[in-house]
Structure 1
Amino acid sequence: MNPALALLDWLVIGGYLVFLVLFALWLARRQRDRADYYVGGRRLGAWPVAISVMATQCSTNSILGAPAFVAFAAGGGLVWLQYELALPLAMIVLILLVMPLFRQLQLVSVYAYLEHRFDLRTRLLLSALFQFARAFATAVTVFSIAIVIDLILGIGFFWSVVILGVFTVVYDVLGGIRGVIYSDVIQMAILVAVLGLLLALLVQDNGGFAHMLDALDPARRRALDFGHHGFGDGETFSFWPMLVGGLFLYLAYYGCDQSQVQRLLCTRDIDTTNRALLINGLLRFPLVALYCLVGAGIAVYAAGSGDFLARLPLHGGQPQYNLAVPRYMIDTLPPGLVGLALVALFAAAMSSLDSVINSLSATTMEDFVVRFCREPLSQRRELLLSRLITVAWGVVTLTLSFFVGDIAPTVLEAINKIGSLANGPILAVFALGLLSRRASGVGACIGLLLGIAGNALLWRYAPGISWLWWNAIGFALTGLAGLLFSGGQARPSVTDTARNILREQSRVNWPLMCGLLATWFVLLFALLASLG
């Protein structure tokens, strides 16, 4: 047991974990079938859904990785904020072109649309790809928090994974999507409070906010980089790859990734879904700015405290920079608040792990079990199978966490690299179905495989090209190949039906659109101010 933790810290941590399980048990009383379990009966409001989506993205990968990137990573700094310029633009496209269709079709698995538009093979391929890629990416999340638990408790990586996994899987299995969403709201509140506290302490330790920013390396203080393009110049985090690549990534993530779309399908109607997207578009930048500023404070604090980096555990002979934030927590916070800060890290990990496990279960149940079941299942059997599949995916993701430690210098880069391999190609498959009457299922599947293969070759043989460009390059390769290998018109009536749905359901909400565009310009001007 780590002597840095007082009894009060243990009580805070234990009380929080027990509360989550009891809360999920209480929510389980209302579950009747798989629709309740996976989409909450489509009765949830915009605010809890939006906050849950943000909580998933504000995972341990962000809380640990973003400060490490800002403070220590080569080429890092506040340039990570450029990524957020793509978000409001992505929200506009999703509100106008994607969500009205998915809501009208009453989907549980987003990949069911691909069978509707193309064929069963396309649906199964995309669903299986999601399950593989998302399980692997989630293993990175488990890895990142488990090394923190080991740092704190000193019980070894294996038992750290077990502790995190057991509690998360238990409340996920019991609570279903409602448990995921409402626990995420609680976890987000704790997380923001702790991050705000850490930033306040860092500002105080570093002589005030202005002095802290002035003391930061000027190269890390710049939030915009117009001087590079990321095509072979070795500059991964310049403006254009982060804006263009980020736009394709966010469109794929919010519009084609089951772990995100599933919660947006839990809302009461399309207007509620759109409000959830708007809330996310408005609030995500302040959240990202908060943990990036924590990274700036950590950088200045480490520079002024000669032994801070020496107290970080080593990995491959180098300090584990991803542990800088928990190291600062343990060093500076009093008993009780240390426990609360560690709860925040648990919350960040659980808010990602729970939603992904639930969505992996949903796609397995909808795209494979129910789709190939010869006889209809009773509601009770549906619910039982859904829970068992959730347990199985929990075991898979926890097991994978033992094999993902060396993908990238920081966990933030690791998780985004994994996603960027496939996000663009997956988005292109949905775009082919929605926008092209000519595309066929065979062409879409071939295009998908070629797009992913092209990105993999770039990873292996063209390291000078920013991996952020993979999202756009993969989209282009898949789209072109998909059209090339489509023999002719394929089920055009289905495409026309989708267009009719969008025409009928999409109503341009000008205040909402103007709000997102205004947000984009405000963010741009705010980042431009960093150049002054």
Structure 2
Amino acid sequence: MDSNLVLIVITFYFLLLFLISWFTSRDLTSDTFFTGDRKSPWFLVAFGMIGASLSGVTFISVPGEVGNSNFYYFQLVLGYTVGYAVIAKLLLPLYYKLNLVSIYAYLEERFGFWSYKTGAFFFILSRTLGSSIRVFLVAGVLQIILFDQWGIPFWVSVLITVTLIWLYTFRGGIKTVVWTDTLQTFFMLLAVLVSIVLVSKELNITGVGDLMVKVSEQPYSKIFNWDWKSGTNFFKQFFSGMFIVIVMTGLDQDMMQKNLTCRNLKDAQKNMFWFTNILVLVNLIFLALGVLLYMYAETNQIAIPERTDDLYPLLATSHFSTFAGIVFVLGITAAAYSSADSTLTALTTSFCYDFLQIDKNPDKEKALTTRKAVHLGFTLLMFFVILLFRWINDQSVINAVFLIAGYTYGPLLGLYSFGLFTRYKVKDAWVPYLAVIAPLISFFISSQSEKWFWGYKFGFELLILNGLLMFIGLWLVRLRSTDR
């Protein structure tokens, strides 16, 4: 694609974001940045959360991964539905009852100071790593299709990226993010649908019915894997999907902060119900696109890239029409920022409330200055973490960091499970140590599992083991009194 055209498209996109930022930053109160004044329409939150849940990794990786693991990813998505039901019926009522801004404040009330700080710290660690990686992976695509052609080094393009995110979120915070997420979701879905229509036309597929038949006939469309040793076994994927959603949405400040901007619990639960249904359909569409991309490449004798993540960007920018390429650029740009902007807001909220206790500061001007400084600080931190991944420049290391980020949610799963399903208090000072020990033991068991368990290989279900070990640790340090 022509770099000038790409630049025009991205400029147009950011003008829309800044327009939304200006619109949502009027009539601000001291709590708008953190709570959105609890006036967000539930349907807006539901639609916007699609883009935040998918992110750039899903946008790029899921279609390409079809060539490696068929539709097995959909087993994980089926587990999501149960996880979202748990969030809607168990966690959301708790958060609304306690009128929380930071969801980790529950841990202080339930267990004590150190449990509270441990939960908040693990969230900050995980989100900083996870979101920086997501931006890094998508920034690599933008670097190739735009910035390299202009001779702009990677560090400058990343600096521009994080600066733009900071500019359109530093005033309105979560109120702005709820609206920008909606725009980003729209462009992500538009890119996928345009790609499907274009490829279907090239393959002489007419209508939705014909499309479903053609996709289902491909060996790639196999959904269920019953091999118990495989990391993509159905039961592993299903239960992992359920727990991944519970911890990475229900116990995640980023995702829950958007839900808590709804007017009341009923609206938040309604949002979660519709969001779940839409997300299942959207993931199915991404998987179908993956099948079509492989069919398109085979029909046109296009070599499949060594990294399957590169398949969709390659076809969209080098083989599709100019219009489809423009829409793809909009989609990939939206994917890059749909996770980063809300993450910066959530990290700022968690640090301000959980560590600086900004809500207890009677000096509103000083509190505002503190919040702005923290927001800028996390923007710079994300910038340097992204550059660190670029310096490492090793895909296996990046995957390992993703795995490490996943480990950090295990202690949260154990803490909340113990808090919700038992009446015991714990020796609070022990909690930080347990939160480190549980992931380490999980890692050791995972590394030896094939030797110890007759070839069994852990997949995403390692999260469940991690949470269980944390739960057991809390049980061992429980106080004998059952008084809350």
The alignment's TM-score, normalised by the length of structure 1, stands at 0.82
* Structure 2 residue runs without a partner (length 5+): 206-210, 451-455
Q: CA deviation at 1:102?
A: 0.8
Q: Distance in 2 between matches of 1:142 and 1:50?
A: 23
Q: Aligned residue for 1:163? A: 160
Instruction: Work out whether 1:424 is the aligned partner of 2:410.
Output: yes
Q: Distance in 2 between matches of 1:238 and 1:336?
A: 39
Could you say what secondary structure the match of 2:231 adopts? Answer: coil
One of 373, 377, 382 as aligned partner of 1:397:
382
One of 185, 188, 205 as aligned partner of 1:188:
185
Q: Residue 450 and residue 407 in structure 1: after superposition, are their counterparts in 2 closer, same or farther (change >3 A)?
A: farther
Q: Aligned residue for 1:300? A: 295
Q: Residue 470 and residue 16 in structure 1: after superposition, are their counterparts in 2 closer, same or farther (change >3 A)?
A: same
State whether residues 43 and 266 of structure 1, in contact with CA within 8 Å, keep that contact through their aligned partners in structure 2.
yes
List aligned pairs for 1:73-84, cutoff 5 A. Answer: 73=68, 76-84=69-77
Instruction: Work out whether 1:243 is the aligned partner of 2:245.
Output: no
Q: CA deviation at 1:404?
A: 3.7
Q: Distance in 2 between matches of 1:457 and 1:64?
A: 31
One of 50, 53, 58 as aligned partner of 2:54:
58
List aligned pairs for 1:10-409, cutoff 5 A. Answer: 10-33=7-30, 35-71=31-67, 73=68, 76-153=69-146, 154=148, 155-208=152-205, 209=211, 212-213=214-215, 216=218, 218=219, 220-226=220-226, 228-229=227-228, 233=229, 235-309=230-304, 319-370=306-357, 376-404=361-389
Q: Distance in 2 between matches of 1:400 and 1:51?
A: 29
Q: CA deviation at 1:8?
A: 4.3
Q: Distance in 2 between matches of 1:240 and 1:409?
A: 26
Q: Distance in 2 between matches of 1:338 and 1:6?
A: 12
State whether residues 46 and 275 of structure 1, in contact with CA within 8 Å, keep that contact through their aligned partners in structure 2.
yes
Q: CA deviation at 1:147?
A: 0.8
Q: Residue 206 and residue 277 in structure 1: after superposition, are their counterparts in 2 closer, same or farther (change >3 A)?
A: same
State whether residues 190 and 327 of structure 2, in contact with CA within 8 Å, keep that contact through their aligned partners in structure 1.
no
Q: Distance in 2 between matches of 1:158 and 1:31?
A: 34
Q: Residue 305 and residue 466 in structure 1: after superposition, are their counterparts in 2 closer, same or farther (change >3 A)?
A: farther
State whether residues 108 and 262 of structure 1, in contact with CA within 8 Å, keep that contact through their aligned partners in structure 2.
yes
Q: CA deviation at 1:416?
A: 6.0
Q: Distance in 1 between matches of 2:128 and 2:325?
A: 30
Q: Aligned residue for 1:433? A: 419
State the one-letter code of the partner of 1:89: V
Q: Residue 337 and residue 410 in structure 1: after superposition, are their counterparts in 2 closer, same or farther (change >3 A)?
A: farther
Could you say what secondary structure the match of 2:322 adopts? Answer: coil
Deviations 1:470-514 (A, max 9, x none): 121112111111101223236x33xxxxxxxxxxxxxxxxxxxxx
Q: Distance in 1 between matches of 2:367 and 2:28?
A: 11
Q: Distance in 2 between matches of 1:409 and 1:215?
A: 33
Q: Distance in 1 between matches of 2:403 and 2:203?
A: 33
Could you say what secondary structure the match of 1:359 adopts? Answer: helix
Q: Residue 221 and residue 281 in structure 1: after superposition, are their counterparts in 2 closer, same or farther (change >3 A)?
A: same
Q: CA deviation at 1:305?
A: 3.7
Alignment size in residue pairs: 467
Q: Residue 68 and residue 377 in structure 1: after superposition, are their counterparts in 2 closer, same or farther (change >3 A)?
A: farther
State whether residues 414 and 467 of structure 2, in contact with CA within 8 Å, keep that contact through their aligned partners in structure 1.
yes
Q: Residue 281 and residue 215 in structure 1: after superposition, are their counterparts in 2 closer, same or farther (change >3 A)?
A: closer
Q: Distance in 2 between matches of 1:214 and 1:143?
A: 34
Could you say what secondary structure the match of 1:467 adopts? Answer: coil
Q: Distance in 1 between matches of 2:394 and 2:475?
A: 33
List aligned pairs for 1:513-524, cutoff 5 A. Answer: none
Q: Residue 308 and residue 278 in structure 1: after superposition, are their counterparts in 2 closer, same or farther (change >3 A)?
A: same
State whether residues 9 and 329 of structure 2, in contact with CA within 8 Å, keep that contact through their aligned partners in structure 1.
no
One of 449, 464, 477 as aligned partner of 2:469:
477
Q: Aligned residue for 1:523? A: none
State the one-letter code of the partner of 1:256: L
State whether residues 52 and 185 of structure 1, in contact with CA within 8 Å, keep that contact through their aligned partners in structure 2.
yes
One of 429, 452, 460 as aligned partner of 1:468:
460
Q: Residue 170 and residue 336 in structure 1: after superposition, are their counterparts in 2 closer, same or farther (change >3 A)?
A: farther
* Structure 1 residue runs without a partner (length 5+): 313-318, 494-532
Q: CA deviation at 1:449?
A: 2.6
State whether residues 60 and 145 of structure 1, in contact with CA within 8 Å, keep that contact through their aligned partners in structure 2.
yes
Q: CA deviation at 1:91?
A: 2.2
The alignment's TM-score, normalised by the length of structure 2, stands at 0.90
Out of 94-103 and 280-289, give the one that drifted further: 94-103
State whether residues 79 and 224 of structure 1, in contact with CA within 8 Å, keep that contact through their aligned partners in structure 2.
yes
Q: Distance in 2 between matches of 1:167 and 1:305?
A: 39
Deviations 1:226-256 (A, max 9, x none): 2x22xxx3x2111011111111111112221
Q: CA deviation at 1:214?
A: 6.4
Q: CA deviation at 1:157?
A: 2.9
Q: Residue 210 and residue 140 in structure 1: after superposition, are their counterparts in 2 closer, same or farther (change >3 A)?
A: same
Could you say what secondary structure the match of 1:489 adopts? Answer: coil
Q: Distance in 1 between matches of 2:400 and 2:278?
A: 24
Q: Distance in 2 between matches of 1:398 and 1:291?
A: 29
State the one-letter code of the partner of 1:46: W
Q: Aligned residue for 1:503? A: none
Q: Aligned residue for 1:457? A: 444
Could you say what secondary structure the match of 2:419 adopts? Answer: helix
Q: CA deviation at 1:383?
A: 2.8
- % of aligned pairs identical? 19
Out of 47-56 and 380-389, give the one that drifted further: 380-389
State whether residues 417 and 467 of structure 1, in contact with CA within 8 Å, keep that contact through their aligned partners in structure 2.
no
Q: Residue 47 and residue 203 in structure 1: after superposition, are their counterparts in 2 closer, same or farther (change >3 A)?
A: same
State the one-letter code of the partner of 1:160: S
Q: CA deviation at 1:401?
A: 1.7
State the one-letter code of the partner of 1:91: Y
State the one-letter code of the partner of 1:341: F
Q: CA deviation at 1:414?
A: 6.6
State whether residues 126 and 409 of structure 2, in contact with CA within 8 Å, keep that contact through their aligned partners in structure 1.
no
Q: Distance in 1 between matches of 2:394 and 2:48?
A: 27
